[in-house]
């Protein structure tokens, strides 16, 4: 798939999977709401119920900034509609300031739930340094 299509599919996806690396080197993958901000992807810790505020994804990014976001489409009846886009890069945890506010604004523009209840937790900002994609139809 071409770069323009890959970016449009990433931007249009409603949910993605954020992959980070645990201290022992094993992968940690969680579903996330996200927005694309130029050459970065942002996601935030929001108010949905969680078992703890000390989320593994935040700890992982602080210890090892390598991360990925994957989005995809699957159709059980028509495999010619299958595609995926993955972005890899360096992530950072942003806990406040203008970069945090800008990320929350982008997320609120994409998700109505965030307009009603903006994420108050830290933001993970992944600066994209590699794109990979595939689609049944080129």
- Write the DSSP string, 10-74: HHH-S-EEEEEE-TTS-EEEEEE--EEETTEEEEE--SS--S-SS-HHHHHHHH--EEEEEEEE-
Residue 88: per-residue pLDDT: 98
Q: What is the mean pLDDT of residues 69-73?
A: 97
Lowest mean pLDDT among 21-35, 49-63, 80-94: 49-63
Q: What is the CB neighbour count within 10 angstroms for residue 1?
A: 18
Q: Tokens 């990979």 appear where?
A: 132
Read off the pLDDT of residues 91-124 as tens digits, 9 standing for 90 and up. 999 999 999 999 999 999 999 999 999 988 899 9
Residue 51: per-residue pLDDT: 60
Residue 111: per-residue pLDDT: 96
Where do the domains of the chain lie, and which CATH numbers do they carry?
Answer: 3-135 (2.30.110.10)
Q: What is the mean pLDDT of residues 34-38?
A: 96
Mean pLDDT rounded to a whole number for the chain: 93
Res 56 pLDDT > 60: yes
């Amino acid at each position: 798939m071409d770069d323009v299509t890959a970016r449009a599919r990433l931007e249009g996806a409603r949910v993605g999977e954020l992959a980070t690396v645990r201290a022992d080197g094993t992968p940690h993958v969680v579903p996330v709401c996200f927005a694309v901000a130029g050459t970065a992807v942002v996601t935030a810790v929001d108010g949905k119920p969680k078992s703890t505020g000390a989320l593994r994804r935040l700890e992982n990014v602080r210890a090892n900034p390598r991360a990925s976001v994957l989005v995809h489409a699957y159709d059980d009846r028509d495999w010619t509609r299958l595609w995926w886009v993955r972005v890899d890069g360096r992530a950072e945890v942003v806990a406040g300031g203008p970069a945090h506010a800008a990320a929350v604004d982008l997320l609120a523009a994409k998700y109505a739930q965030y307009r009603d209840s903006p994420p108050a937790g830290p933001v993970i900002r992944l600066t994209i340094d590699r794109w990979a994609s595939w689609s049944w139809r080129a």
